[in-house]
């Protein structure tokens, strides 16, 4: 990491004494200034909340000590000493926010991710709550989720009769799928593996719900904290009205182990059910017409942003210090696998999730698989993986229509989205 | 001679000059809005009325949203013209009655009374007919974006830009317009009370029509807070009012959307370069950058919009597109109206063009006044104007009136050019 120029630090200090602290993590003045603005707003919000809470406590205490009947909230009669107090609370900038801000800036200078300090991260039109122990949604993942929704809409044209008016251009413009999208008119079944905060599942629902009359999205993660958080995110965004009212019924988050199979289950150290045991528990995922030798479950789309950092890349400086120290390793680096039942021999350590999911995709009848990969090299290895598994797959790396700056070499280092479509017939 | 030993000739000359100038200015700003309709305008009104009738019969057969909208635009012209016709007809009838020698004396006196009252009506009808003839501004029904940028004047301009922003926000809340800040950048330094750029979104429909009088350079004359020696400074803040377009499709009302390649306001996404501000090197899970800035460049025109206020790249991009679309639409409209400008200049002299480069208003703190240079209207309660109060509204109303008058003048000039 290049050293910060003294002149930059001085300039930052002249603007605000807190800026040099943020500069340590942000590295550029512009981004430090933005972070300071967000943190300041957050500090003011916290102080305001604290003040209101204190005031509530004070009022409660007042009534407790004076044994007066407390007026009901909708009672217009003013409470003693309250009229001007409430007004002051509503208007004045609360005291104590500067101290809070200083604390936040010091925490940030030590590398604590901004999202853990603020408690959330915007993701599309949603707000995803974040907490220590669960990976923070990335900007890249956000744009990949938008791309994924677009891919899904072209691959599975939404049924036109119900909303022929607004979606017909898309359906007519893309005659890619000769077969009807939904046999039996069931919901579109999407599996989000290693869901973390649940951001991909939630945003996909937000983007697809207007087009499809019925969806079923299942998010699976091995981390109980993540599952807890993803459920909270679901309720949080539904309560705020950013997700449709269908969301609580159509989204589900389950604790599950993607890497283990039921047979290897007995040997695994933890007590978390394997993916194959969870899927049949969801009625929507049961195959109405199971073939023999099939798994008995049916999923249309698998999307995943699994841990994909190699052991070397985790320690050799490719991974940012703040990420390495503050974010959960389990969400970044795949575990070392002892048995080779799940994954073919010769698979690189950082690719085990891809191998496992690609191997499973055919068995559950998935017609589309979308992966976020760490760089283009990994993306190409994943494409190779799909050539080895059963079924014919058309695999490509999704090209971002924009942002080709930094040249070809710079681009290959970036994360990418691999889209695999099963060839029909 | 004057009781004064001597008078500096330059002072004398200057005072004479100002008074002379003032008189000239006042003259140039008053338009003739007499009762007489020029024949050119009348023929225009008639052709519009004919179109209205034709469209109404067409609508009786098949419903078409576009036709219905056009009818709505023309209805006012048609009804007013009918009123005008009936009034002129009755006047001529009465005239005939008066000239007829066989008419009884009693009837004649009644006719004279009627004639007078009819003649009194005429100017009012002519006025409203002119108003109706003014074509609706293409963006009139849209919400708008208000961009505020300090111009010449350094820090002081930034300070005043902030005050203007507060003024417009107060004005919006008083008028019940929904107003949000979508971009706010305070230049170098952490001082919160100065701007280097701000964009307000006023989401109420028709806000464009109300606010379009505000486009231009606002000049402030005062002793700035940053001035140590008490000198008055003059600085400028430029305000731009842009139409804000609904997000997608559903263009049953308003000008056609941006997704339609045949639309005038269509933007080819290929022509827009999007840049994410991100450091080189690994991405994805390897890093957790909070940089969310987006910069859009429209390649054919070179318009650049950058946005970094939100923590989400996605919403920054959405807002940047909104601003870019608004800027392009305004530019294209201006380009289309360029040919009219020459005509307008001829009709009304230099002040006619109201572009973003022209000084439109002065806020003078020393004299506590606010003067609009287009309508020549002055309010002597600057505090009220800056609080977005009644004062500001009366200034804006005066400009609306001025705009209407000048449109009529242009239209008359245009129509007579066509006839000639």
pLDDT of amino acid B5: 60
* Best-predicted range by mean pLDDT (A68-77, A381-390, B242-251): A381-390
Check: CB of residue B212 under 8 Å from CB of residue B398: no
- CATH homologous superfamily of A139-157+186-422 equals Vaccinia Virus protein VP39 (3.40.50.150)
Which among B286, B292, B311 is the nearest to A318, CB-wise? B286
pLDDT of amino acid B25: 38
Contacts of A305 in chain B (CB under 8 A): 285
Question: Which chain A residue is nearest to residue B286, measuring alpha carbons?
Answer: A319
- Is B275 near chain A, with CB under 8 Å? yes
CATH of B146-244+380-420, one of 3.40.50.300, 3.30.70.1660, 3.30.390.30, 2.50.20.10: 3.30.70.1660
Q: Please give the average per-residue pLDDT across B397-412, as a whole number.
A: 83
Contacts of A35 in chain B (CB under 8 A): 290
Q: How far apart, in whole angstroms, are the C-alpha atoms of residue A334 and residue A259? A: 10
Query: Would you give the DSSP letter of residue A374?
Result: S
Q: How far is A216 from chain B (nearest CA, A)?
A: 25
CB contact under 8 A, A16 and B190: yes
Domain extent listing, chain B: 18-133, 146-244+380-420, 248-345
Q: With cut-offs at 50, 70 and 90, classify the pLDDT of residue B112.
A: confident
Q: With cut-offs at 50, 70 and 90, classify the pLDDT of residue B352.
A: very low
Check: CB of residue A167 under 8 Å from CB of residue A158: yes
Quick one: CATH architecture of B248-345? Answer: 2-Layer Sandwich (3.30)
A 306-325: CB under 8 A from B: 307-309, 313, 318-320, 322-323
Contacts of B280 in chain A (CB under 8 A): 406, 410, 413
- Is B306 near chain A, with CB under 8 Å? no
Residue of higher predicted confidence among A88 and A177: A88
Q: Please give the average per-residue pLDDT across A97-125, as a whole number.
A: 94
- The angle formed by the CA atoms of residues A38, A39 and A42, to the nearest 5 degrees, is 90
Q: How far is A250 from chain B (nearest CA, A)?
A: 25
For residue A106, the SS3 value is helix
CB contact under 8 A, B190 and A15: yes
Beta bridge partners, B338, equal: none
CB contact under 8 A, A308 and B285: yes
Q: With cut-offs at 50, 70 and 90, classify the pLDDT of residue B31.
A: very low
Residues B138-151: tens digit of each pLDDT: 788 889 999 999 98
B 178-207: CB under 8 A from A: 188-190
Residues B9-27: tens digit of each pLDDT: 666 665 554 444 443 333 3
pLDDT of amino acid A272: 83
pLDDT at B312 over 70: yes
What percentage of chain B carries pLDDT values higher than 70?
80
Burial string for B198-208 (b: 16+ CB within 10 Å, else e) reads bbbbbebbebb
Contacts of A309 in chain B (CB under 8 A): 285-286
Biggest distance spanned by C-alpha atoms of chain A: 81
Q: Please give the average per-residue pLDDT across B331-347, as a whole number.
A: 67
For residue A403, the SS3 value is coil
Q: Which two tokens stand for residue A312?
A: 């070397």
pLDDT at A179 over 50: no
Place of tokens 């409209």: B333
Check: CB of residue B349 under 8 Å from CB of residue B403: no
Q: Which two tokens stand for residue B381?
A: 């309660």
Q: What sign for the dihedral angle of Cα B393, B394, B398, B404?
A: positive
pLDDT of amino acid A147: 93
Q: What's the per-residue H, E or C state across A267-279?
A: CCCCCCCEHHHHH
Which range has the worst mean pLDDT, A125-134, B33-42, B174-183? B33-42
pLDDT of amino acid A78: 47
pLDDT of amino acid B100: 82
List helix spans (H) across A92-223.
Answer: 97-109, 114-118, 139-155, 164-173, 199-208
Portions of chain A given CATH number 3.40.50.150: 139-157+186-422
User: Over chain A, what is the mean pLDDT?
Assistant: 83
- Is B279 near chain A, with CB under 8 Å? yes
pLDDT of amino acid B274: 85
Q: How far is B36 from chain A (nearest CA, A)?
A: 51
pLDDT at B264 over 80: no
CB contact under 8 A, B279 and A410: no
pLDDT at A406 over 90: no
pLDDT at B402 over 90: no
Q: Strand A126-129 relative to strand A120-123: parallel, antiparallel, unpaired?
A: antiparallel
- Is A287 near chain B, with CB under 8 Å? no
- Is B176 near chain A, with CB under 8 Å? no
For residue A187, the SS3 value is coil
Q: Please give the average per-residue pLDDT across A227-233, as a whole number.
A: 96
Q: Which two tokens stand for residue B247?
A: 């997000």
pLDDT of amino acid A74: 53
Q: How many CB atoms lie within 10 A of CB A355?
A: 22
For residue A394, the SS3 value is strand
What percentage of chain A carries pLDDT values higher than 70?
80
Q: Please give the average per-residue pLDDT across A236-252, as a whole number.
A: 94
Residues A299-337: tens digit of each pLDDT: 999 999 999 999 999 999 889 999 999 999 999 999 887
A 71-130: CB under 8 A from B: 113-115, 121-125
Q: How far is A410 from chain B (nearest CA, A)?
A: 7
């Amino acid at each position: 990491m290049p050293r910060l120029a003294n002149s930059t630090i001085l300039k930052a200090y002249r603007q605000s004494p807190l800026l040099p602290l943020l500069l340590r993590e942000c590295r550029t003045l512009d981004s430090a200034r933005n972070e300071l603005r967000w943190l300041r707003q957050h500090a003011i919000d916290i102080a305001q909340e604290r003040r209101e809470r204190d005031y509530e406590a004070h009022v409660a205490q007042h009534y407790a000590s004076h044994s007066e009947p407390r007026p009901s909230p909708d009672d217009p009669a003013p409470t003693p000493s309250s009229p001007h107090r409430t007004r002051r609370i509503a208007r004045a900038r609360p005291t104590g926010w500067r101290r809070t801000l200083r604390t936040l800036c010091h925490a940030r200078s030590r590398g604590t991710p901004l999202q853990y300090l603020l408690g959330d991260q915007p993701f599309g039109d949603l707000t995803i709550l974040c907490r220590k122990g669960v990976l923070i949604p990335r900007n890249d993942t956000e744009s990949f989720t938008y791309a994924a929704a677009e891919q899904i809409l072209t691959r599975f044209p939404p049924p036109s009769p119900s909303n022929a008016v607004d979606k017909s251009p898309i359906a007519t413009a893309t005659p890619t799928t000769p077969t009807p999208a939904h046999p039996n008119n069931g919901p579109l079944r999407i599996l989000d593996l290693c869901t973390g905060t649940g951001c991909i599942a939630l945003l996909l629902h937000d983007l697809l719900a207007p087009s499809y009359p019925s969806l079923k999205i299942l998010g699976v993660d091995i981390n109980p904290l993540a599952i807890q958080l993803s459920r909270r995110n679901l309720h949080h965004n539904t309560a705020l009205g950013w997700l449709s009212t269908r969301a609580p019924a159509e989204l589900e988050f389950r604790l599950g182990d993607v890497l283990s199979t039921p047979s290897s289950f007995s040997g695994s150290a933890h007590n978390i059910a394997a993916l194959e045991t969870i899927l049949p528990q969801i009625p929507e995922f049961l195959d109405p017409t199971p073939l023999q030798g099939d798994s008995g479950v049916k999923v249309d789309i698998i999307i995943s942003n699994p841990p994909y950092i190699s052991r070397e890349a985790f320690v050799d400086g490719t991974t940012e210090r703040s990420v390495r120290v503050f974010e959960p390793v389990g969400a970044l680096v795949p575990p070392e696998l002892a048995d080779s039942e799940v994954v073919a021999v010769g698979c690189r350590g950082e690719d085990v999730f891809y191998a496992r999911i690609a191997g499973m995709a055919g068995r559950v009848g998935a017609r589309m698989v979308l992966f976020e990969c760490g760089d283009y090299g990994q993306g190409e290895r994943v494409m190779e993986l799909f050539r080895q598994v059963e079924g014919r797959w058309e695999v490509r790396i999704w090209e971002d229509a924009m942002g080709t700056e930094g040249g070809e070499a710079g681009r290959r280092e970036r994360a990418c989205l691999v889209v695999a479509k099963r060839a029909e017939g | 001679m004057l009781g004064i030993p001597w008078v500096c000739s330059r002072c004398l000359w200057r005072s004479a000059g100002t008074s002379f100038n003032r008189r000239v200015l006042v003259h140039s700003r008053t338009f003739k809005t007499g009762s007489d309709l020029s024949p050119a305008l009348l023929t225009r009104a008639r052709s519009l009325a004919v179109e209205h009738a034709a469209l109404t019969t067409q609508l009786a057969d098949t419903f078409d949203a576009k036709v219905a909208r056009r009818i709505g635009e023309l209805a006012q012209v048609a009804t007013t013209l009918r009123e005008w016709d009936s009034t002129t007809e009755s006047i001529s009838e009465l005239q005939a009655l008066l000239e007829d020698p066989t008419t009884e004396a009693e009837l004649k006196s009644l006719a004279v009374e009627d004639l007078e009252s009819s003649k009194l009506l005429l100017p009012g009808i002519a006025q409203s007919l002119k108003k109706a003839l003014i074509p609706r501004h293409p963006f009139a029904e849209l919400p708008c974006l208000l961009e505020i940028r300090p111009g010449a004047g350094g820090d002081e301009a930034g300070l005043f830009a902030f005050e203007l922003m507060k003024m417009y926000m107060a004005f919006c809340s008083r008028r019940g317009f929904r107003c949000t800040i979508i971009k706010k950048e305070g230049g170098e330094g952490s001082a919160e009370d100065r701007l280097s750029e701000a964009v307000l979104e006023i989401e109420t429909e028709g806000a464009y029509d109300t606010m379009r009088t505000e486009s231009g350079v606002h000049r402030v004359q005062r002793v700035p807070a940053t001035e140590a020696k008490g000198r008055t400074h003059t600085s400028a803040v430029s305000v731009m009012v842009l139409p804000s377009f609904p997000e997608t499709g559903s263009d049953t009302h308003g000008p056609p959307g941006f997704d339609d390649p045949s639309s005038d306001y269509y933007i080819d996404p290929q022509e827009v370069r999007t840049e994410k501000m991100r450091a080189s090197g690994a991405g994805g899970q390897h890093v957790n950058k909070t940089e969310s800035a987006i910069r859009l460049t429209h390649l054919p025109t070179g318009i650049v919009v950058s946005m970094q206020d939100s923590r989400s790249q996605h919403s920054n991009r959405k807002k940047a597109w909104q601003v870019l679309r608004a800027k392009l639409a305004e530019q294209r409209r201006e380009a289309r109206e360029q040919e009219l400008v020459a005509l307008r200049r001829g009709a009304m002299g230099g002040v006619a063009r109201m572009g973003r480069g022209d000084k439109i208003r002065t806020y003078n703190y020393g004299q506590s006044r606010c003067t609009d240079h287009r309508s020549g209207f002055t309010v002597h309660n600057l505090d009220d104007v800056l609080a977005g109060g009644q004062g500001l509204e009366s200034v804006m109303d005066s400009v609306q009136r001025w705009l209407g008058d000048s449109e009529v003048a242009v239209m008359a000039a245009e129509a007579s050019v066509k006839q000639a």
